[in-house]
Structure 1
Amino acid sequence: MHVTHVNRASRARRRGALLAAAALLGSVGAATGPASAAPAATPPPAAQVPRPECSSAFRVEQKLDGGTTWRMCWRYDTDAGLVLDRVSYQPRGERRPIRVLNSAKLAQIHVPYDDGKAEYDDLTGAGFGWGLQNLAPAECPGGTVRRVKVPDVGVVNGLCTTTRARGHAYRLANDEGTKVWQSQGKDLLVYTVNKVAWYEYITEWRFSSDGTISADVGATGSLAPDDYNAADGRGWPIGKGSRDYATSHAHNVFWRLDFGLDGSSKGRIEQYDSKVTPPSGDGSPTVKTTRTPVTKELAGDARTMRWWRVVSATGKNKDGHARSYEIVPGASATHAGRGFTRHDVYFTQNRACEQFASNNIHDCGARGGDSVDKWVNGENLVNPITWVNIGFHHIARDEDQQPMPVHWQGFQLAPRDVTAMNPLTPADLTDQNGQHGHGS
């Protein structure tokens, strides 16, 4: 599928080839603003709600159902694509925004083919950032398509910010069935589309009114005509009869998250494991959950009833509980072919040079290594960076032509004790904090 890719073995970035690929964008107009966020403005008076430290052209602010407001800055990087900075969440009842993330971005799309004949790093080896696509208004219903300045390409109408219905935010019926509390929610949706050879990647971020953040990459576009040559067991026939075996391959998508809960980068990491003990005799099964503080760099593997959370170093909710965000991976096919693809999450000490999970194009000097697995060296976690790896093994099917339906892979960040109650709680249920009948 990657006929214009640069093979991993050639580590050098071939700028001329990438710019040629960028011509797929068509003609673009003159630049209308800076390529990155403006310098921080003078802080506003304390009585005002602080805005993200970026100019209005690079600011996203959206009030959702139930009174929740999300604020953030965006910028564009020619390797990572869309980057979100200073992401904050202000649910109803909170006097000030709650900082969640200092920054969030894609950290690699690694694509190894099952026959071993090709392997690609789409972000840092194949011109992902130069392939930003123009979006028609119909692709951003009810929203705004923003202009993005792409170095060496020009201005692309390439960033959509809009809202999208997500169905029930909650539903509760009273015991008598005479009253139902329910809400139909909307999400803030921020996304771009980047073209890499035959593939088109939709980089999507969703922000929900209950504080949940969803990060997903959708792969669409086309199966490449040069890849219909796999023997049975390495591909799938999609032509008439036993013909045109499209080569199977993996998409290992990485994200890099720099948490800044309550404005501090010194959050702590905790791992939770639950063990089920089968019943004895006529009894019932029991479950015990154990918390393990993660104090040193870690390459973590997902298991049944295991999860991680990032805990604020400074902030607590109105119940006195430390604010945190739980990492909720989506469906994933972990790929064992490379050291960096063998684990589902990584927690590393923050270093400016460590930006991409594989084929890292920044020089890390004596620390060495150009992939995230090489950076897990037992160092103490003071300012942790979170890396999430979600894999998809793509075995083609007849329905993948033509064009290919979007297949999604991603994860969520779920608020855990960020607020003392559901931030969307109806007014007549606000006294039900804790055991029913105890009140607040």
Structure 2
Amino acid sequence: MRKPTLRLTLCLLAAAAIPAAAADHPLDQLSYQEVWQALEILRDAGRLDSETTFSQLTLSEPAKDVVRAWQEGDEIPRAAYALVRQGEDTFEATVDLNAGEVSSWTPLTGVQPNWSLGEFGAVVGKVLEHPEFIAGLEKRGITDTSFLDCSTIPPGYFGTEEEKGRRLGHVRCSEARGARNTWARQVEGLTAVVDLTAGEVLKVVDDGVAPIPDVDADYDRTTLDHPREIAGPFRLDLPEGVGFDMNGYQVSWQNWSFHLRPDQRTGLVVSLVDYRESPDTNPRSVMYQGQLSEIYVPYMDPAFAWYARNFIDAGEFPAGGLAKPLLRGRDCPEHAVYIDSINTSAQGRPRTVPRTTCIYERETGDPSWRHYEDEQPDSRASRDLVVRTAAVVGNYDYLLDWIFRQDGSIEARVGATGLLEVKATSAVSAIRPAPAAGPVNAAAVDALQAGTPADAHGRFLDRNVIGVNHDHYFSYRLDLDVDGADNRFVADRLVTQELPADHPRRSLWVQEAHAAQTEQDAQLDINLAKPALWRVLSTSRQNAVGYPTSYQLMPGRNANHLFVADDYSLRRAGFIDHHLWVTPYDPDERFAAGDHPTLSEPGMGLPAWTEANRSIADEDLVLWHTVGMHHLPRAEDWPVMPVMWHGFELRPFDFFDRNPALDLP
């Protein structure tokens, strides 16, 4: 095994990106030519014309048992999934690339496809000509629309008669003139509701006039008067190259091996995660597949322009691709290796998106383990392998990490950064002078006297600028296969045990293992007053002292939602009701809010699947972990937010006989 040393010079050996080449594994992303092949097959089958558009065109995964049985040299099963739109009709298609045929073509009914790239500009021209919208602009002093940037986005769905059966969008605008960061220059309170199918403006809603903020919200280096001086540069040298091997999209690093697939909807899928204890032993399965399944971001302002901002990000906005290019030497270190993605356009045509995933080793300066005694002081430096993507959805950026450690653990992290979506207000700031103080902040005084302060649903960030309160929820789909697919889920409850009256101690805690039998048994939440360990146990293997081998899902910082039960904002994203769900493996259950959450009815995804309360006893199990955060904006989030990390750890628990990092040099 190569062990590159760390020095204070730079080696650029690993800076190049690995292009999206032809597939050499069943789980590889569709190659550039495979996308074209799928389009040609659809054309030859009479399913493609000049008006056809695509909401999705991506890999259709082979069955799990087929992937497990596949060996290098076998024919590679390859198929594409297409979400095809023809006029008002949408179809789900499977294209068999090996057979050269369309193997399925099914109308999509009862749900709506995700937003396409072209729909972000739908009906904008008619909105800018609508007399009520023009009047709203004029109230705000806008008589020239030359520099307005307007977009059409899917709103939250609330089951009203106006919404039912329609493909609705909300059109809002910003004044782009002279600003790089146009998120701070929205035309506040003016929304046009449009029907995309009919191409009509249904109504214009004006929540009230607020000025376009005249503030400096740019954040690039050219806007800094005095950039910080940092001693440096700080660089690494890898004289023997990187410490991991890549064969296509398959990665081997020390004892770990796994497969990576860039994915247009969810960013990245990590598959076939195995751990080999020594070179002469067989690899042991840990996880068949892990991926971000969904992101939900609801805003907490009752105004019309804000309450419908309930974004189901991965499901509604995959058209442009969730993952965006990483910046060399900034998002990832100079010695990182990069992977490109193949995304598809509204016409289904492939395009290469460079550097959407980076892979690199790091030493944080932390020990893997240590103990000090005078006779035997010892410690081992730790090294990690990081796999990173950067998701971008509108104003928000999310760094999505999978971190493989030498002690057999895997950490998944999400780092929220980017720009706040802000609300303009007539009030200047949170300073509320008495009316006698004059017109310095008269609007704030008026709002306070009316009983509704301007910052009732957020906090001031700058003059006339409020960061609106909101949440972020991330659902991770974790198909754990701990020493095989047949597993058992156990919640180890730590409970207080009272001791006899004559004992010097009065109490202690003990473990009570609860093996979940059905899905509803395993709908669990973090409760610090009632601690529990969540574990997936093998049903076929034990460690040296007789315990079933297992992996623990250990949550990190998290939050509960604060919705009332009948709020549509909760019911459409029901996966946030619990921090943990456990389901029997089903290849058709991949996305926590459902396959098609755009303008969706309540109850899709995990709530619908688990309603049958299926057995999960000694089954092939999938864990769904919800990571939540409440975002109360602060001044330090302006104009661009420092990264805020959340996540969880998959931790070996009796999987090994001893500390697997004992052999570190």
TM-score band, normalised by the shorter chain?
Answer: 0.7 to 0.9
CA contact (8 A) 2:422 2:468 kept: no
C-alpha distance in 2, partners of 1:131/1:290?
42
Partner in structure 1 of residue 510 of structure 2: 288
C-alpha distance in 1, partners of 2:424/2:552?
39
Task: Check if 1:16 corresponds to 2:215.
Answer: no
CA contact (8 A) 2:495 2:510 kept: yes
CA contact (8 A) 2:294 2:593 kept: yes
CA drift of 1:378 comes to 1.6
* CA 1:205–1:237: 2 relative to 1, 3 Å: same
CA drift of 1:89 comes to 1.5
Q: Which residue identity is paired with 2:650?
A: L
Q: Which residue identity is paired with 1:140?
A: C
Match of 1:418 among 650, 655, 660: 655
* CA 1:385–1:233: 2 relative to 1, 3 Å: same
Partner in structure 2 of residue 256 of structure 1: 477
Identity %: 26
Q: Which residue identity is paired with 1:123?
A: A
Q: Which residue identity is paired with 1:60?
A: V
Task: Check if 1:147 corresponds to 2:381.
Answer: no
Q: Which residue identity is paired with 1:268?
A: R
Match of 2:558 among 289, 312, 332: 332
CA RMSD of aligned residues (A): 2.7
Task: Check if 1:196 corresponds to 2:196.
Answer: no
* CA 1:272–1:96: 2 relative to 1, 3 Å: same
C-alpha distance in 1, partners of 2:424/2:251?
41
Higher share of residues assigned strand: 1
Match of 2:492 among 261, 272, 283: 272
CA contact (8 A) 1:58 1:74 kept: yes
CA drift of 1:228 comes to 6.6
SS of 1:374 mapped into structure 2: helix
SS of 2:660 mapped into structure 1: coil
Q: Which residue identity is paired with 1:170?
A: W
How many matched pairs?
372
Match of 2:585 among 346, 350, 360: 350
Partner in structure 2 of residue 119 of structure 1: 310
Match of 1:407 among 630, 644, 659: 644
Q: Which has the larger radius of gyration?
A: 2
CA contact (8 A) 1:81 1:128 kept: no
CA drift of 1:232 comes to 2.9
Q: Which residue identity is paired with 1:202?
A: L
C-alpha distance in 2, partners of 1:183/1:19?
53
C-alpha distance in 1, partners of 2:621/2:367?
34
* CA 1:222–1:323: 2 relative to 1, 3 Å: same
Q: Which residue identity is paired with 1:236?
A: R
If asked which structure has higher relative contact order (CA below 8 Å, sep 6+), I would say 1
Task: Check if 1:299 corresponds to 2:523.
Answer: yes
CA drift of 1:126 comes to 2.3
Match of 1:208 among 393, 398, 405: 405
Question: Can you list the C-alpha shifts for 1:53-103, whole angstroms capped at 9, x where unaligned?
Answer: xx922111112xxxxx21111112221110011011123477122111110
CA drift of 1:18 comes to 7.5
* CA 1:129–1:209: 2 relative to 1, 3 Å: farther
Question: Can you list the C-alpha shifts for 1:185-227, whole angstroms capped at 9, x where unaligned?
Answer: 0111001112110111111100100011111111111112457
Alignment of 1:84-123 (within 5 A): 84-92=270-278, 95-116=281-302, 117=307, 118-123=309-314
Match of 2:355 among 157, 171, 179: 157
SS of 1:373 mapped into structure 2: helix
C-alpha distance in 1, partners of 2:263/2:546?
39
TM-score (norm 1): 0.78
C-alpha distance in 2, partners of 1:148/1:237?
39
CA contact (8 A) 1:18 1:130 kept: no
* CA 1:186–1:309: 2 relative to 1, 3 Å: same
Q: Which residue identity is paired with 2:586?
A: R
Give the unaligned 5+ runs of structure 1. 1-9, 22-54, 64-68, 363-367, 429-440
C-alpha distance in 2, partners of 1:18/1:411?
36
Task: Check if 1:236 corresponds to 2:462.
Answer: no
C-alpha distance in 2, partners of 1:426/1:409?
30
C-alpha distance in 1, partners of 2:120/2:322?
9
Question: Can you list the C-alpha shifts for 1:4-41, whole angstroms capped at 9, x where unaligned?
Answer: xxxxxx953121247989xxxxxxxxxxxxxxxxxxxx
Give the unaligned 5+ runs of structure 2. 1-110, 122-150, 152-245, 346-350, 427-452, 564-569
Question: Can you list the C-alpha shifts for 1:211-249, whole angstroms capped at 9, x where unaligned?
Answer: 111111111111124577994332111114xx4221010
SS of 2:321 mapped into structure 1: helix
CA drift of 1:426 comes to 5.5
CA contact (8 A) 2:385 2:403 kept: yes
CA contact (8 A) 1:128 1:196 kept: no
C-alpha distance in 2, partners of 1:369/1:158?
33
CA drift of 1:427 comes to 9.5
C-alpha distance in 2, partners of 1:219/1:15?
25
C-alpha distance in 1, partners of 2:401/2:120?
24
